[in-house]
Amino acid sequence: MGKKQLKLGAFLSVPGNHLAGWRHPDADTSCDMDFGWYMRLTQMAEAAKYDCIFFQDTVAVGGSDALKAGDMTRTSLSRIVKLEPTACLAALAMGTSHIGLVATATTTFNEPYNIARRFATIDHISNGRCGWNLVTSQIEDEAGNFNLDTHVDHAARYERAIEFYEVVSGLWDSWEADAFPKDKERGVWFDYDRMHFLDHHGKHFHVRGPLNVSRTPQGRPIVAQAGSSEPGRELAARTADVVFTAQTELAEAREFFADVKGRTAKYGRTPDDIKIMPGITPVIGRTMEEAQEKYDRLQALLPDDVALAALARFTRGIDIFSFPLDGPMPDLPETNAAKSRQKLIMDMARKYNMTLRQVARSVSAAQGHRVLVGTPAYVADELQEWLEKDAADGFNVICNYYPKPFEEFSNLVIPELQRRGIFRTAYEGTTLRENLGLKAPENRFTAARKARAAD
DSSP letter at 288 equals H
pLDDT in tens, 101-152: 999 999 999 999 999 999 999 999 999 999 999 999 877 788 889 998 888 8
Establish if 325 belongs to a structural domain: no
Higher pLDDT pick, 58 / 71: 58
Q: Name the pLDDT band for 74 (thresholds 50, 70, 90).
A: very low
Q: Please report the pLDDT score of residue 112 as a whole number.
A: 98
Residue type, 87: A
Count the alpha carbons within 13 Å of 21 in the hemisphere toward its beta carbon.
31
Count the alpha carbons within 13 Å of 275 in the hemisphere toward its beta carbon.
27
Mean pLDDT check: name the lowest of 301-305, 330-334, 412-416: 330-334
Sequence length of the chain is 455
**Per-residue pLDDT averaged across 396-411, rounded?**
97
Q: Note whether 271 and 261 are within 8 A (CB).
A: yes
Count the alpha carbons within 13 Å of 363 in the hemisphere toward its beta carbon.
30
Q: Name the pLDDT band for 79 (thresholds 50, 70, 90).
A: low
User: CA-CA-CA-CA torsion for 80, 397, 433, 239, nearest 10 degrees?
Assistant: -60
Q: Please report the pLDDT score of residue 349 as a whole number.
A: 79
Establish if 58 belongs to a structural domain: yes
User: CA-CA-CA-CA torsion for 30, 35, 40, 45, nearest 10 degrees?
Assistant: 110
Termini Cα distance of the chain: 38
Q: Please report the pLDDT score of residue 144 as a whole number.
A: 87
Higher pLDDT pick, 55 / 344: 55
Residue 337 pLDDT > 70, yes or no?
no
Higher pLDDT pick, 205 / 449: 205
Residue 398 pLDDT > 80, yes or no?
yes
**Per-residue pLDDT averaged across 261-284, rounded?**
97
In angstroms, rounded to a whole number, what is the distance separating the alpha carbons of residues 77 and 309? 10
The neighbour count for residue 17, using CB atoms within 10 Å, is: 26
Question: Which of 247-251, 323-327, 328-332, 423-427 tops mean pLDDT?
Answer: 423-427
Residue 201 pLDDT > 80, yes or no?
yes
Q: Name the pLDDT band for 25 (thresholds 50, 70, 90).
A: very high
Higher pLDDT pick, 76 / 174: 174
DSSP letter at 265 equals G
Q: Please report the pLDDT score of residue 72 as a whole number.
A: 47
Query: What percent of the chain is predicted at pLDDT more than 90?
Result: 69
Q: Note whether 231 and 266 are within 8 A (CB).
A: no
Establish if 144 belongs to a structural domain: yes
Cis-peptide into 282, omega within 30 deg: no
Q: Please report the pLDDT score of residue 125 as a whole number.
A: 98
Q: Name the pLDDT band for 250 (thresholds 50, 70, 90).
A: very high
**Number of domains comprising the chain:** 1
pLDDT in tens, 5-22: 999 999 999 999 888 899
Structural domain span for residue 181: 7-296+369-454
Q: Please report the pLDDT score of residue 400 as a whole number.
A: 95
Q: Provide the 3-class DSSP secondary structure of residue 228.
A: coil
Establish if 430 belongs to a structural domain: yes
Q: Please report the pLDDT score of residue 150 as a whole number.
A: 86
Residue type, 259: D
- Find, among 167, 169, 143, 141, the residue nearest to 156 by Cα: 143
Q: Name the pLDDT band for 65 (thresholds 50, 70, 90).
A: low
CA max distance for the chain: 80
Sequence-ordered alpha helix ranges (H) in 11-111: 35-47, 64-68, 85-93
Q: Please report the pLDDT score of residue 338 as a whole number.
A: 63
Establish if 108 belongs to a structural domain: yes
Residue 251 makes CB contacts below 8 A (sequence gap 6+) with none
**Per-residue pLDDT averaged across 59-78, rounded?**
58
Q: What is the mean pLDDT of the chain?
A: 91
Q: Note whether 117 and 175 are within 8 A (CB).
A: no
**Per-residue pLDDT averaged across 345-355, rounded?**
81
Q: Please report the pLDDT score of residue 330 as a whole number.
A: 82
Q: Provide the 3-class DSSP secondary structure of residue 175.
A: strand
Give me the sign of the Cα torsion angle 327, 329, 332, 335.
Answer: positive
Establish if 363 belongs to a structural domain: no
The CATH number linked to 20 is: 3.20.20.30
b/e map 216-246, b = 16+ CB within 10 Å: bbbbbbbbbbbbbbebbbbbbbbbbbbbbbb
Residue 205 pLDDT > 80, yes or no?
yes
Q: Please report the pLDDT score of residue 64 as a whole number.
A: 60
**Per-residue pLDDT averaged across 228-248, rounded?**
92
pTM: 0.91
Q: Provide the 3-class DSSP secondary structure of residue 181.
A: coil
Establish if 435 belongs to a structural domain: yes
Residue 78 pLDDT > 60, yes or no?
no
DSSP 326-388: TSBPPP-PPPSS-HHHHHHHHHHHHHTT-BHHHHHHHHHHHTTSEEEEE-HHHHHHHHHHHHH
Establish if 150 belongs to a structural domain: yes
Q: Please report the pLDDT score of residue 318 as a whole number.
A: 76
Residue 69 pLDDT > 60, yes or no?
no
Q: Regarding beta strands 206-207 and 200-201, do their DSSP bridges make them parallel or antiparallel, or are they unpaired? A: antiparallel
Task: Please report which helix (H) or strand (E) contains residue 278, including its range.
Answer: strand 275-284
**Per-residue pLDDT averaged across 62-83, rounded?**
59
Residue 202 pLDDT > 80, yes or no?
yes
